[in-house]
């Protein structure tokens, strides 16, 4: 059994993703694939076209074995935080042997050299002079790398998937997971990340979203499950589009004070002042974006900032590592991954995994600050889905996170490689047996939280949460893509 991880968005799931999965299995010998996937909002600062449960279902039916949701505060973060969160969650599973990612550059050694250079040079002291001259973060770090390591290395930072690859490699090193999780790069061929072109049967997610919006046939570029889901959601007016958030975004921005904006991720004082003024003058969402955008603020950063403001995400929320892993879909092999993870000793990133948000909620009211903090992120997950449900032309009811059943595809002919008595967090059985197992999980989780609180009473909090300090060690000054 060999488990490899993929950090993904699948917006939508297409043939390029299938190619990555197939190449990963072929070249590494991976037998099991786990995906850490953005939920209902994605890193480019937009809602996902299909909701997270449908995208996870499609992934599991096309080569992925287990899909776990990336916390929304990180799926709407810049590349550094997005990558850091995904790597931490793969590390928390304890059985993941490698990570697969696509990049325009297929030379892992060159990507590692660039990652080492970025980590060495991305300090406030180095960046501040360049940013004060009007450069944004991506421009500043690329210029620093070019000056110290030459254009062959710095040019890698001109391509979006290379940027994410560099951030994955940085995070593996920073989190001391480089010896446990081996990187594997799949060179992207044909259509680029945001290309409006295609190659044979592979097209970029950007092109596919444009084709879907224009009513064009995408069946040559996606598996049948994606084509069917898009057709179904389109017929029911359930596809989620950025422009449908126009009024709710303008409302939210108009009732926020500048001080509220300044506590939002990706919003410094300059951007906060521009958003505050633009929200009061804008007559449409397009007008709002045009009034905010400058060379210093790439569009992806602006869009992320707007949705962070809408969802009530604060800058301090990014200082907290993932506290739980929400399972969105799995099959028999995915259950094997969970059983193996549950049989291994905990490491530096202890995270409980479950398919139910209720498993991460205490049954009784408590004043314990850590449990309250956990509840904030459970609530953030549910609220973000409720707001997402307003983004389709046909409004959907709230409560998606508590009413949508997860996909668990079972194969009667499947023979597990693991003994049946290993503990698993993917519960099976009658409703009564499942609830009993979940209650036991809740009690164990509460006991761990209480023990952590007791350990830190009267002492420095960082002693019990080294991962939290690691998560915020590096500078967070902006976005990475237009």
Residue 135 has pLDDT above 90, yes or no: no
pLDDT tens string 6-62: 999 999 999 999 999 999 999 999 999 999 999 999 999 999 999 999 999 999 999
Element holding 37 (H helix, E strand): strand 32-38
Residue 348's pLDDT band (cuts 50, 70, 90)? confident
The per-residue b/e assignment along 119-135, b for 16 or more CB within 10 angstroms, e otherwise, is bebbeeebbeebbeeeb
**Which string of DSSP letters, residue by residue, matches 64-104?**
-SEEEEEPHHHHTS-HHHHHHHHHHHHHHHS-EEEEEEEES
Mean pLDDT, rounded, of the chain: 88
According to the model, what pLDDT value does residue 457 have?
53
Report, as an integer, the average pLDDT of 408-435.
73
DSSP character at residue 267: -
Q: For residues 214 and 457, which has the higher predicted lDDT (pLDDT)?
A: 214
Query: Nearest-CA neighbor of 161 among 140, 183, 195, 188?
Result: 188
Q: At what angle do helices 299-311 and 285-292 cross, to 10 degrees?
A: 120
Q: For residues 12 and 425, which has the higher predicted lDDT (pLDDT)?
A: 12
Cβ-based neighbours of 417, under 8 Å, separated by 6 or more: 1, 336
Residue 418's pLDDT band (cuts 50, 70, 90)? confident
Give the pairing of strands 3-8 and 96-103: parallel
Residue 461 has pLDDT above 60, yes or no: no
Query: Nearest-CA neighbor of 439 among 360, 332, 355, 365?
Result: 360
- Work out the percent of the chain whose per-residue pLDDT is above 70: 87
- The dihedral through the CA atoms of 193, 50, 256, 378 has a sign that is negative
pLDDT tens string 292-322: 998 888 899 999 999 999 999 999 999 999 9
Give the best-scoring range by mean pLDDT among 109-113, 195-199, 454-458: 109-113
pLDDT tens string 277-299: 999 999 999 999 999 998 888 89
Cβ-based neighbours of 449, under 8 Å, separated by 6 or more: 368, 370, 371, 374
Residue 99 has pLDDT above 90, yes or no: yes
Residues 107, 152 contacting (CB under 8 angstroms): no
pLDDT tens string 193-252: 444 555 678 999 999 999 999 999 999 999 999 999 999 999 999 999 999 999 999 999
Report, as an integer, the average pLDDT of 344-353.
81
**Cα-to-chain-centroid distance, residue 24:** 20
Report, as an integer, the average pLDDT of 378-388.
96
Give the pairing of strands 66-70 and 325-331: antiparallel
Report, as an integer, the average pLDDT of 365-392.
90
Ranges of each domain in the chain: 1-104+159-236+323-365+406-473, 242-318
According to the model, what pLDDT value does residue 459 have?
45
Domain 1-104+159-236+323-365+406-473 has CATH 3.40.50.620: yes
Residue 463 has pLDDT above 60, yes or no: no
Does the pTM of the predicted model rise above 0.85?
yes
Q: For residues 193 and 116, which has the higher predicted lDDT (pLDDT)?
A: 116
CA distance 427 to 440: 11
Quick check: helix, strand or coil at residue 35?
A: strand
Query: Nearest-CA neighbor of 34 among 2, 10, 67?
Result: 67
According to the model, what pLDDT value does residue 479 have?
38
According to the model, what pLDDT value does residue 480 have?
41
CA distance 36 to 304: 19
Residues 179, 121 contacting (CB under 8 angstroms): no
pLDDT tens string 244-274: 999 999 999 999 999 999 999 989 999 999 9
Element holding 405 (H helix, E strand): none
According to the model, what pLDDT value does residue 371 have?
81
- Work out the percent of the chain whose per-residue pLDDT is above 90: 71
CA distance 100 to 165: 9
Residue 474 has pLDDT above 70, yes or no: no
């Amino acid at each position: 059994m060999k488990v490899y991880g993929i950090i993904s968005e699948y917006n939508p799931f297409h043939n390029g993703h299938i190619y990555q999965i197939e190449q990963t299995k072929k070249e590494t010998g991976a037998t099991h694939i786990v995906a850490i996937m953005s939920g209902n909002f994605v890193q480019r600062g937009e809602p996902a076209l299909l909701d997270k449960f449908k995208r996870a279902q499609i992934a599991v039916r096309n080569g992925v074995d287990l899909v776990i949701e990336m916390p929304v505060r990180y799926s709407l973060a810049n590349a550094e935080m997005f990558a850091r969160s995904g790597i931490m969650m793969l590390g928390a599973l304890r059985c993941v042997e490698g990570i697969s990612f696509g990049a325009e550059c297929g030379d892992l050694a060159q990507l590692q050299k660039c990652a080492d250079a970025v980590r060495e040079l991305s300090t406030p002291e180095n960046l501040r002079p360049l940013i004060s001259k009007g450069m944004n973060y991506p421009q500043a770090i690329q210029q620093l790398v070019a000056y110290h390591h030459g254009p062959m290395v710095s040019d890698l930072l001109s391509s979006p998937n290379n940027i994410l690859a560099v951030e994955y490699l940085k995070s593996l090193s920073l989190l001391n997971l480089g010896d446990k999780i081996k990187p594997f790069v799949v060179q992207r061929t044909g259509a680029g990340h945001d290309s409006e072109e295609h190659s044979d049967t592979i097209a970029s997610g950007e092109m596919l979203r444009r084709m879907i919006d224009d009513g064009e046939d995408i069946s040559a570029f996606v598996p049948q499950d994606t084509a069917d889901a898009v057709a179904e959601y389109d017929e029911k007016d359930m596809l989620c589009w950025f422009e449908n958030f126009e009024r709710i975004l303008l409302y939210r921005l108009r009732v926020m004070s500048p001080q509220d904006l300044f506590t939002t991720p990706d919003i410094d004082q300059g951007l906060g002042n521009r958003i505050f003024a633009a929200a009061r003058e804008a007559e449409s969402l397009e007008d709002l974006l045009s009034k905010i955008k400058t060379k210093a603020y790439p569009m992806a950063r602006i869009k992320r900032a707007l949705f962070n403001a809408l969802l009530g995400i604060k800058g301090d929320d990014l200082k907290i590592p993932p506290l739980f892993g929400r399972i969105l879909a799995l099959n028999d092999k995915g259950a094997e991954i969970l059983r193996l993870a549950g049989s291994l000793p905990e490491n530096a990133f202890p995270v409980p995994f479950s398919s139910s948000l209720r498993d991460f909620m205490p049954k009784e009211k408590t004043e314990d600050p850590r449990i309250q903090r956990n509840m904030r992120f459970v609530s953030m997950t549910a609220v973000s889905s409720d707001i997402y449900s307003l983004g389709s032309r046909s409004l959907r009811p709230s409560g998606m996170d508590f009413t949508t059943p997860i996909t668990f595809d079972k194969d009667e002919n499947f023979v597990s490689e693991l003994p049946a008595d290993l503990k698993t967090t993917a519960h099976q059985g009658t409703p009564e047996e499942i609830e009993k197992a979940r209650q036991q999980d809740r009690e164990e989780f509460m006991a761990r939280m209480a023990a952590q609180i007791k350990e830190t009473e009267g002492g420095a909090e960082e002693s019990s949460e080294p991962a939290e300090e690691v998560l915020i060690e590096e500078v967070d000054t902006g976005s990475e893509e237009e």
